[in-house]
Amino acid sequence: TQLLEQSPQFLSIQEGENLTVYCNSSSVFSSLQWYRQEPGEGPVLLVTVVTGGEVKKLKRLTFQFGDARKDSSLHITAAQPGDTGLYLCAGPRGGGSYIPTFGRGTSLIVHP
Protein backbone atom coordinates (compact mmCIF):
# COMPACT_ATOMS: atom_id res chain seq x y z
CA THR A 1 0.00 0.00 0.00
CA GLN A 2 1.37 3.36 -1.05
CA LEU A 3 1.33 5.87 1.82
CA LEU A 4 1.37 8.81 -0.59
CA GLU A 5 -0.78 8.56 -3.72
CA GLN A 6 -0.03 10.94 -6.57
CA SER A 7 -2.32 11.77 -9.46
CA PRO A 8 -2.39 11.88 -12.33
CA GLN A 9 0.40 9.44 -13.08
CA PHE A 10 1.09 11.01 -16.49
CA LEU A 11 0.28 14.42 -17.93
CA SER A 12 1.02 15.69 -21.44
CA ILE A 13 0.08 19.29 -22.19
CA GLN A 14 0.87 22.18 -24.51
CA GLU A 15 2.99 25.15 -23.53
CA GLY A 16 0.89 27.85 -21.89
CA GLU A 17 -1.65 25.54 -20.28
CA ASN A 18 -2.30 25.38 -16.54
CA LEU A 19 -2.20 22.15 -14.57
CA THR A 20 -2.60 20.76 -11.07
CA VAL A 21 -1.10 17.58 -9.65
CA TYR A 22 -2.13 16.00 -6.38
CA CYS A 23 -0.54 14.14 -3.49
CA ASN A 24 -2.96 12.40 -1.14
CA SER A 25 -2.73 10.23 1.96
CA SER A 26 -5.01 8.79 4.60
CA SER A 27 -2.32 9.65 7.17
CA VAL A 28 -1.38 12.99 8.68
CA PHE A 29 2.06 14.29 7.75
CA SER A 30 4.04 16.76 9.84
CA SER A 31 5.41 18.18 6.60
CA LEU A 32 5.48 17.41 2.88
CA GLN A 33 8.15 18.11 0.34
CA TRP A 34 7.88 18.46 -3.42
CA TYR A 35 10.75 17.49 -5.69
CA ARG A 36 11.28 17.68 -9.45
CA GLN A 37 13.40 15.11 -11.23
CA GLU A 38 14.64 15.62 -14.77
CA PRO A 39 15.62 12.63 -16.92
CA GLY A 40 18.97 11.16 -15.94
CA GLU A 41 19.31 13.24 -12.79
CA GLY A 42 18.49 13.04 -9.11
CA PRO A 43 15.43 14.72 -7.60
CA VAL A 44 15.78 18.38 -6.65
CA LEU A 45 13.85 19.88 -3.76
CA LEU A 46 11.30 22.53 -4.77
CA VAL A 47 9.53 23.35 -1.51
CA THR A 48 8.53 22.12 1.93
CA VAL A 49 5.06 22.78 3.37
CA VAL A 50 4.59 22.47 7.09
CA THR A 51 1.42 24.22 8.29
CA GLY A 52 -2.09 23.00 7.43
CA GLY A 53 -3.62 25.32 4.82
CA GLU A 54 -0.23 26.76 3.92
CA VAL A 55 0.27 28.13 0.42
CA LYS A 56 3.74 28.69 -1.03
CA LYS A 57 4.59 30.21 -4.39
CA LEU A 58 7.71 29.63 -6.43
CA LYS A 59 7.42 31.78 -9.56
CA ARG A 60 4.69 30.03 -11.62
CA LEU A 61 4.38 27.11 -9.18
CA THR A 62 1.89 27.24 -6.30
CA PHE A 63 1.99 24.61 -3.57
CA GLN A 64 -0.78 24.04 -1.06
CA PHE A 65 -0.91 21.85 2.05
CA GLY A 66 -4.35 20.63 3.03
CA ASP A 67 -5.93 21.88 6.22
CA ALA A 68 -5.78 18.39 7.74
CA ARG A 69 -2.18 17.88 6.53
CA LYS A 70 -3.19 14.74 4.62
CA ASP A 71 -2.89 16.12 1.10
CA SER A 72 -1.06 18.62 -1.02
CA SER A 73 -1.33 20.05 -4.50
CA LEU A 74 1.01 21.67 -6.99
CA HIS A 75 -0.43 24.09 -9.53
CA ILE A 76 1.63 25.30 -12.48
CA THR A 77 0.47 28.38 -14.35
CA ALA A 78 1.35 28.82 -18.03
CA ALA A 79 3.50 25.69 -18.23
CA GLN A 80 6.75 25.85 -20.17
CA PRO A 81 8.84 23.05 -21.73
CA GLY A 82 11.37 23.58 -18.94
CA ASP A 83 8.74 22.35 -16.46
CA THR A 84 8.97 18.86 -18.00
CA GLY A 85 9.95 16.25 -15.44
CA LEU A 86 8.81 13.87 -12.73
CA TYR A 87 7.16 15.60 -9.77
CA LEU A 88 7.45 13.73 -6.50
CA CYS A 89 5.92 14.40 -3.11
CA ALA A 90 7.53 13.03 0.04
CA GLY A 91 7.26 13.23 3.78
CA PRO A 92 8.32 11.57 7.03
CA ARG A 93 6.16 8.55 7.83
CA GLY A 94 5.26 9.87 11.24
CA GLY A 95 4.08 7.93 14.25
CA GLY A 96 7.43 8.60 15.85
CA SER A 97 9.32 7.54 12.72
CA TYR A 98 11.32 9.93 10.59
CA ILE A 99 11.71 7.45 7.75
CA PRO A 100 10.92 9.37 4.56
CA THR A 101 8.37 8.01 2.10
CA PHE A 102 7.84 9.07 -1.50
CA GLY A 103 4.85 8.99 -3.81
CA ARG A 104 5.33 7.37 -7.23
CA GLY A 105 5.27 10.73 -8.94
CA THR A 106 3.53 12.55 -11.77
CA SER A 107 5.39 12.53 -15.06
CA LEU A 108 4.78 15.85 -16.85
CA ILE A 109 5.61 16.60 -20.47
CA VAL A 110 5.10 20.13 -21.76
CA HIS A 111 5.15 20.37 -25.56
CA PRO A 112 6.36 23.58 -27.22
Partner 1 sequence: NAGVTQTPKFQVLKTGQSMTLQCAQDMNHNSMYWYRQDPGMGLRLIYYSASEGTTDKGEVPNGYNVSRLNKREFSLRLESAAPSQTSVYFCASSDLAGGEQYFGPGTRLTVT
Applying CB under 8 A, which residues contact partner 1? 2, 33, 35, 40-45, 48, 88, 90-93, 97-105
Helix (H, G, I), strand (E, B) or coil at 38: coil
Choose between 28 and 45: whose C-beta lies nearer to partner 1.
Answer: 45
For residue 14, count CB atoms less than 10 angstroms from its CB and return exposed for 0-12, middle for 13-18, buried for 19 or more: exposed
Helix (H, G, I), strand (E, B) or coil at 12: strand
Choose between 34 and 83: whose C-beta lies nearer to partner 1.
Answer: 34
Q: Nearest approach, Cβ of 97 to partner 1 (angstroms)?
A: 8
For residue 111, count CB atoms less than 10 angstroms from its CB and return exposed for 0-12, middle for 13-18, buried for 19 or more: exposed
Q: Nearest approach, Cβ of 36 to partner 1 (angstroms)?
A: 11
Choose between 10 and 68: whose C-beta lies nearer to partner 1.
Answer: 10
